Amino acid sequence: MQKILVVEDDSALAVGLKIALTDAGYLCEVAETFTRAKEILEEGNRMTEYSLLIFDVMLPDGNGHELLRTYRNAGVKLPVIFLTAVSDEENVVRGLDLGADDYITKPFRNAELLSRVRAVLRRYENMITAPGGESGKADGVSSKRNPVITDQDDIKNAEGVYSYRELVIDTKASTVTLSGKELALSSGEYKLLVYFLKNQGICLTRSNILEKIFDESGNFVDDSALYVYVNRLRDKIGDLKRKDPYIKTVRGIGYRMEKM
């Protein structure tokens, strides 16, 4: 049975989470402070008991971002979901950059939480059982793992090298370079770029992107998270400084990559 550590200082919410997770068939342990969560990390090999970590961002004696940094520095590679009452882009991006796998904005429904828990656990299990093991970790694109492409049959020469202005995408090595410099794209950003590339000139709705890119991979992403993914991708490919960006916003509808 999979065990989950929940770090949440709101006692009522913590109890509710424990009941929901237990009813769904998980073992659940709760820590209500940053200090207690660190103590668990330092208690021998206790971290090997867990399959997933759920952190509140705001804790009475610290914050979830710092806790995640502490865990990662200690070599803990377990998947992490953030709970946050702060949904602004800066906080979301910071959590994702630190290596979080997902975030949920309060208030949320238990059904949504459980859906995301299942998706993250499923993705993590697929990652560690895939060829190359942990090389498929979600915080970057590794040349050791298979390329992540949706609707592969729709892409001619799926293991080829594609050029788009200053971008070069090698789908065999899962690498992207901009003006000769390799970009460090996350899995989600890479999927988005390939999807935009194969649909040049087509206006892609947000719902279409969510269904085709994220739902098919079992990764629960909402509209706010999609905005973050697209904005981070734009930043990395230089669109935020470019007068004629590669990816344009179609107001009220979605996004379009201009056809070459």
- Which CATH number is 203's domain given? 1.10.10.10
Q: What is the CATH number of the domain that holds 70?
A: 3.40.50.2300
Residues 246, 204, single domain; the answer is: yes
Closest CA relative to residue 230, chosen from 210, 211, 258: 210
Domain boundary among 94, 129, 164: 129
> Which is more confidently placed, 27 or 112?
27
**What pLDDT sits at residue 135?**
41
Residues 15, 95, single domain; the answer is: yes
C-alpha 168/C-alpha 190 separation (Å) is 12
- Give residue-wise pLDDT tens across range 74-122: 888 888 999 887 666 667 777 777 778 888 888 888 888 898 898 888 8
- Give residue-wise pLDDT tens across range 94-107: 777 777 888 888 88
**What pLDDT sits at residue 123?**
73
Residues 115, 9, single domain; the answer is: yes
Closest CA relative to residue 58, chosen from 22, 33, 38, 41: 33
**Phi, psi dihedral angles at 82 (to 5 degrees):** -95, 140
**What pLDDT sits at residue 206?**
81
- Give residue-wise pLDDT tens across range 56-80: 999 999 999 999 988 888 888 888 9
Provide the number of structural domains found in the chain: 2
**What pLDDT sits at residue 91?**
72
**What pLDDT sits at residue 103?**
82
Question: In this structure, is the dihedral angle defined by the CA atoms of residues 55, 57, 61 and 67, taken in order, positive or negative?
Answer: positive
Domain boundary among 75, 94, 129: 129
pLDDT for residue 222 is more than 80: no
User: For the chain, first and last CA: distance in Å?
Assistant: 51
Give domain status of residue 138, yes or no: no
Band of residue 44 on the pLDDT scale cut at 50, 70, 90: confident
Give domain status of residue 73, yes or no: yes
- Give residue-wise pLDDT tens across range 147-174: 333 333 333 344 578 788 888 888 877 8
Supply the pTM of this predicted model. Answer: 0.57
What is the residue range of 242's domain? Answer: 152-257
Residues 122, 227, single domain; the answer is: no
**What strand order describes the sheet that includes 247-250?**
204-205, 254-257, 247-250
Two structure tokens written together for 14: 């913590």
**What pLDDT sits at residue 97?**
74
DSSP string, 93-117: HHHHHTT-SEEEESS--HHHHHHHH
Residues 6 or more apart whose CB falls under 8 angstroms from that of 181 comprise none
